[in-house]
Amino acid sequence: MEIAATMIKKNEGLPKIRGGAEATPLYMAVLQGKGEMARHLYPLSTNILQEDDFTMLFFLCIKTEFYVDQKNRTIIHIAVLHRHSIIYSLIHGLGSIKDFIATFEDDEGNNILHYAATLSPPDKLSSISGAALQMTHELLWFQEVKKIMLLLNIEKKNGEGKTPREIFAEKHKELLTKAESWTKSTAINCMLVSALITTGVFTATFMVPGGNNKRTANPNHLQEQAFLVFSLSVACALISASASILMFLSILVSSYAEDECFKSLPYKLLFGMITQIISITTMMISFSAAFYITFSHGLTRVPFSIFVLSFLPIPLFKPLWSDIIYSSYLCMSLFWPRK
């Protein structure tokens, strides 16, 4: 290392000079298993490495056991075990070589699908709100790893005689029970809120603010902008609340089978939560518009103050929604293509 450091000090371009077959000094260090030298040369060589160079280095590190621990686990086993989706996603950009990676086994006969069948580390699960979305996260990982496995290896037994599916069912039995309970309680509570909103705004459609003209039976403030705002907000609140009820009802009556319910759960929860937020917001807008129409004559400041104050409760709901919406998005975007 001292000799190499001295040579580089005299000529900083040495790590960037390619030799036979366009091989870089970094490539040769990895090929010979010189870990310390490779770590020294890597930051000095990154600006000349192309995509093919990174791919070649990646597999060369695995082949030379540069990234194999004492249990014969490669970097891919570790990435799946600890649920590092960014590292795992690199496999999909490697073409047919990923079929070769899928055959790697540790010293206990576990392939990467066996590792995907285990329960995620607590720090990964704790970042996701709700047992149902945690179950979704686990299923997405298992299904994603399964896609790159050869048919022969999907049902392959490890040293203990267990297939990946058997391990998944065993490790996630308790989480599945919690997920069913969480889904039902969340759907019922959200349906109750949406039902109350629907009842309120439906009643408001028959209680015209400012009353009707006794002679024509038309609303007295029909031509005012505030009345238009009231009408549109009531309609929007009713439609969005009804959509929210239907979506949470579909969640409630789901079969809760592992592969059926929880894969679509994030999309349903996200849609249901967003429509509920819209219904509450438009309900408050309709209330403000109705209050303004009724009490605006001679009291300009009071209706305006009420209009502002009516929106204060909305941010209070943020802690209730934000975790679920974020967790739903996290599950949906887990394996989206990355640059």
**Residue 285 and residue 233 in contact, taking contact as beta carbons nearer than 8 Å:** yes
User: Measured at the alpha carbon of residue 138, what is the angle toward residues 132 and 139, in degrees to the nearest 5?
Assistant: 90
3-state DSSP assignment of residue 212? strand
Q: Which domain holds residue 98?
A: 68-171
Q: Give pTM, 2 decimals.
A: 0.69
Q: In a 10 Å sphere around its CB, with 0-12 CB exposed, 13-18 middle and 19+ buried, how is residue 294 labelled? A: middle
Residue 16 is predicted with a pLDDT of: 66
The mean pLDDT value for 18-40 works out to: 67
- Mean pLDDT, residues 49-56 taken together: 67
Of 29 and 177, the structure prediction assigns the larger pLDDT to 177
Residue 162's CATH number: 1.25.40.20
**In a shared domain, residues 59 and 126:** no
Please indicate, yes or no, if residue 337 is contained in any of the structural domains: no
pLDDT digits over 132-148, tens only?
888 888 988 998 888 88
- Kindly report the CATH number assigned to the domain that includes residue 205: 1.20.140
Instruction: For CA atoms 314, 320, 324, 327, give the dihedral sign.
Output: positive
* Statement: residue 27 has pLDDT above 90: no
Q: Which residues contact 197 (CB under 8 A, 6 or more apart)?
A: 237, 241, 276, 279, 280, 283
Q: Phi first, then psi: what are they for 172, rounded to 5°? A: -110, 10
Q: What is the mean pLDDT of residues 115-127?
A: 89
| Domain match, 17 and 118 both | no
- What whole-number percentage of the chain has pLDDT above 90? 19
Question: pLDDT at position 170, please?
Answer: 93
